[in-house]
C-alpha cells in the first residue's frame, strides 16, 4: 500500500509564498446539483467512519460536525464553495491530513499539468503581484516576463492582490500590465495553455566546498534518477545543504529513497503508530493507549531508509533547511537527519503536519485525504502539531527572487565554516 504524507489541507500553494501556477476555471460539478453533494458527502462519511484514525481523535463525531456545516454545504453553488464548507467541518477534528480536494485540484495533482500563463507570484505591500518564478516554456516565460517583474493589471483592471483576473480557460487571452525592475511599464498579451507543474530537483554550488540540493516535493513528481544523479555530483562536496523549504511532503517510499543516501547502515528513524499498533500495545504490553512514545519504543516495526546501490552514503557536513511550509514527509526527513546523520536544522519551525494518510476517490472527481496513523521519531518525539524546531533560526527572504539574499543559506554556510561548531560532520 502506497502510504502518502501530505501537508495540512493540500496547502502547498498558500501562505506567504503563493505558488500561483495559474490554472483554468474548469466546469463545476456541484453547480446547483444537490445530488452530487449528497453523493460526495456519503462517500466521505463512509471513509471517515471506517478508516480514519489518529490516536486520541474522535472521528465518530463527524455526523455532528456535518450537521453543523449543513447550511453552508446546502448554500454552496460550486465546487470551491462546497469544498470550503466541507473542509471547515473537517478542520474541527483538529488534526492534519483530512481534507477534500476538488476535481480540478485532483486532476492537476494526478497529471502534473494545468492551464494558465505559468508564473509563481508573491503579494506586494501595495496589492500588486511580484513574479518570483516563471515556468520554463510556459506563456509568461516565452513572452519575456522574468522574476522581478510586477503585474499591476489584468485586462485593464488592477489586480488588487488577486489572481482572479489572470485565471481563464485554455486558448483564451489575458492582457497583463507589467512594471519591470527598471520601472518601465509594458503590456503583454498571453494565451493561456497547458504547462507542467513539475519542478525538478536542483543542485547549486554555493562555493567550491558547499553544494545545495533542493527537493521541492516527495509526491508523484519526485524523480529518483535525478536525485541520485544530483547526490553523486554533490558527493565530493565537504558540505551539503539539503533544502526542504516549501516541500509539503509526499510518499513515504520517496522519503525512504532519499534518506538511503544520507543515513548510514539503514538505521531506523521512526515508527508509524496506527490502530493495530495501539491495540497490540494495550493487549500485549498492557500499556496505555495514549503512550505513543512508549509504544513506538516497544514496537519492532520501525521505518528505515532504503539502502541505495547507486549512491554511496554522504559523509560530509550536513545542514537541512526548513520553513513553515515544510510539511509531513519533509518534516520526517529533517528530524531523521538530525537524529541519525548528525545534521543541523536551519530556518524556521516546520508545519507540524505529520500523519500517514491516504488519498482516495470521493466520487464525482473529488478526492478525500484521510489519516491512518501518527508518527514518532527515533528519539520519541511526536511531530504532529509541534513541527521540527530548527537548531539555528533564520528567516526566508521577504520575496523569493532567484538572486535575493538568503539568510537561511548564509547561516548554514557560516556553520560549516565554524570548524566543528554548529554544522556537524556525519563522521562515518
Residue 232: the pLDDT is 98
pLDDT tens digits for range 360-413: 999 999 999 999 999 999 999 999 999 999 999 999 999 888 888 999 999 999
Q: Which of 164, 196, 228 is the last residue of a domain?
A: 196
> What is the average pLDDT across 20-37?
62
C-alpha cell at 275: 490502530
Query: Which of the two residues, 109 and 40, has the higher pLDDT score?
Result: 40
Three-class SS state of 141: helix
Domain count of the fold of the chain? 2
Residue 28: the pLDDT is 54
Instruction: For residue 79, give the H/E element and its range.
Output: helix 79-90
Is 68 inside a domain boundary?
Answer: no
Asked if 119 contacts 197 with a C-beta cutoff of 8 angstroms, the reply is: no
Do you know the residue count of the chain? 428
Residue 23: the pLDDT is 38
Residue 14: the pLDDT is 29
- The pTM score is 0.88
Query: Measured between alpha carbons, how far is 96 from 176 in angstroms, rounded to an integer?
Result: 37
| Percent of the chain predicted with pLDDT > 90 | 84
C-alpha cell at 229: 544523479
Strands 150-154 and 119-123: unpaired
pLDDT tens digits for range 286-296: 999 999 999 99
Burial of 317 (0-12, 13-18, 19+ CB in 10 A): buried
pLDDT tens digits for range 296-350: 999 999 999 999 999 999 999 999 999 999 999 999 999 999 999 999 999 999 9
Query: Measured between alpha carbons, how far is 189 from 143 in angstroms, rounded to an integer?
Result: 8
List the one residue out of 330, 352, 340 whose CA is nearest residue 302.
340
Q: Which of 152, 176, 196 is the last residue of a domain?
A: 196
Instruction: For residue 110, give the H/E element and its range.
Output: helix 103-111
Query: Measured between alpha carbons, how far is 37 from 167 in angstroms, rounded to an integer?
Result: 25
Query: Measured between alpha carbons, how far is 31 from 44 in angstroms, rounded to an integer?
Result: 19
Positive or negative torsion for Cα 265, 275, 110, 19: negative
Is 146 inside a domain boundary?
Answer: yes
pLDDT tens digits for range 245-269: 999 999 999 999 999 999 999 999 9
> What is the average pLDDT across 99-106?
94
Is 248 inside a domain boundary?
Answer: yes
How many Cα neighbours within 13 Å face the side chain of 109? 23
Q: How far is CA 56 from CA 8, 179, 374, 420, in A?
A: 18, 52, 10, 42
pLDDT tens digits for range 114-164: 999 999 999 999 999 999 999 999 999 999 999 999 999 999 999 998 888
pLDDT tens digits for range 4-15: 554 433 333 322
The CATH number of residue 219's host domain is: 3.90.226.10
Q: Give the residue carrying C-alpha cell 446547483.
A: 32
Residue 374's domain comprises 202-425
Residue 22: the pLDDT is 39
Q: Which of 128, 161, 196 is the last residue of a domain?
A: 196
Residue 419: the pLDDT is 60
Helix (DSSP H) and strand (DSSP E) numbers for the chain: 11, 21
- Do 158 and 278 share a domain, yes or no? no
pLDDT tens digits for range 160-209: 988 889 989 999 999 999 999 999 999 999 999 999 999 999 999 999 99
- Do 262 and 401 share a domain, yes or no? yes
Residue 277: the pLDDT is 97
Q: Any residues with CB less than 8 A from the CB of 60 and at least 6 apart, and which?
A: 49
The CATH number of residue 145's host domain is: 2.30.42.10
Amino acid at each position: 500500500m502506497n502510504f502518502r504524507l501530505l501537508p495540512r489541507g493540500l496547502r502547498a500553494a498558500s501562505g506567504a509564498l503563493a505558488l500561483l501556477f495559474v490554472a483554468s476555471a474548469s466546469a463545476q460539478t456541484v453547480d446547483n446539483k444537490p445530488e452530487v453533494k449528497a453523493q460526495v458527502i456519503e462517500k466521505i462519511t463512509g471513509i471517515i467512519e471506517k478508516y480514519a484514525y489518529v490516536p486520541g481523535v474522535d472521528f465518530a463525531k463527524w455526523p455532528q460536525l456535518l450537521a453543523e456545516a449543513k447550511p453552508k454545504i446546502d448554500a454552496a453553488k460550486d465546487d470551491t464553495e462546497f469544498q470550503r464548507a466541507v473542509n471547515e467541518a473537517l478542520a474541527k477534528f483538529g488534526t492534519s491530513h483530512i481534507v477534500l480536494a476538488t476535481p480540478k485540484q485532483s486532476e492537476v495533482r494526478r497529471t502534473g499539468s494545468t492551464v494558465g500563463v505559468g508564473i509563481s507570484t508573491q503579494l506586494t505591500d501595495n496589492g500588486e503581484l511580484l513574479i518570483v518564478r516563471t515556468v520554463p516554456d510556459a506563456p509568461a516565460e516565452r513572452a519575456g516576463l522574468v522574476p522581478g517583474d510586477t503585474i499591476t493589471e489584468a485586462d485593464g483592471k488592477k489586480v488588487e492582490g488577486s489572481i482572479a483576473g489572470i485565471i481563464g480557460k485554455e486558448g483564451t487571452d489575458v492582457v497583463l500590465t507589467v512594471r519591470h525592475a527598471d520601472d518601465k511599464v509594458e503590456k503583454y498579451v498571453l494565451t493561456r495553455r497547458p504547462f507542467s507543474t513539475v519542478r525538478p530537483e536542483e543542485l547549486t554550488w554555493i562555493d567550491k566546498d558547499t553544494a545545495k540540493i533542493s527537493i521541492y516535493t516527495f509526491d508523484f513528481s519526485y524523480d529518483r534518477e535525478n536525485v541520485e544523479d544530483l547526490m553523486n555530483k554533490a558527493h565530493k562536496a565537504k558540505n551539503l545543504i539539503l533544502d526542504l523549504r516549501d516541500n509539503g511532503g509526499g510518499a513515504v517510499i520517496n522519503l525512504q529513497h532519499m534518506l538511503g543516501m544520507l543515513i548510514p547502515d539503514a538505521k531506523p528513524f521512526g515508527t508509524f503508530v496506527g490502530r493495530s499498533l495501539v491495540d497490540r500495545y494495550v493487549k500485549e504490553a498492557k500499556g496505555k493507549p495514549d503512550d505513543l512514545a512508549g509504544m513506538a519504543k516497544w514496537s519492532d516495526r520501525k521505518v528505515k531508509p532504503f539502502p541505495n546501490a547507486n549512491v554511496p552514503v554522504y559523509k560530509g557536513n550536513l545542514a537541512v533547511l526548513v520553513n513553515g511550509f515544510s510539511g509531513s514527509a519533509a518534516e520526517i526527513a529533517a528530524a531523521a537527519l538530525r537524529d541519525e546523520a548528525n545534521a543541523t536544522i536551519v530556518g524556521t519551525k516546520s508545519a507540524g503536519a505529520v500523519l500517514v494518510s491516504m488519498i482516495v476517490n470521493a466520487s464525482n472527481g473529488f478526492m478525500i485525504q484521510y489519516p491512518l496513523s501518527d508518527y514518532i521519531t527515533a528519539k520519541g518525539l511526536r511531530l504532529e502539531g509541534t513541527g521540527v524546531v530548527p537548531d539555528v533560526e533564520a528567516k526566508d527572504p521577504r520575496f523569493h527572487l532567484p538572486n535575493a539574499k538568503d539568510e537561511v543559506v548564509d547561516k548554514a554556510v557560516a556553520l560549516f565554516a565554524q570548524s566543528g561548531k554548529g554544522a556537524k560532520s556525519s563522521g562515518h
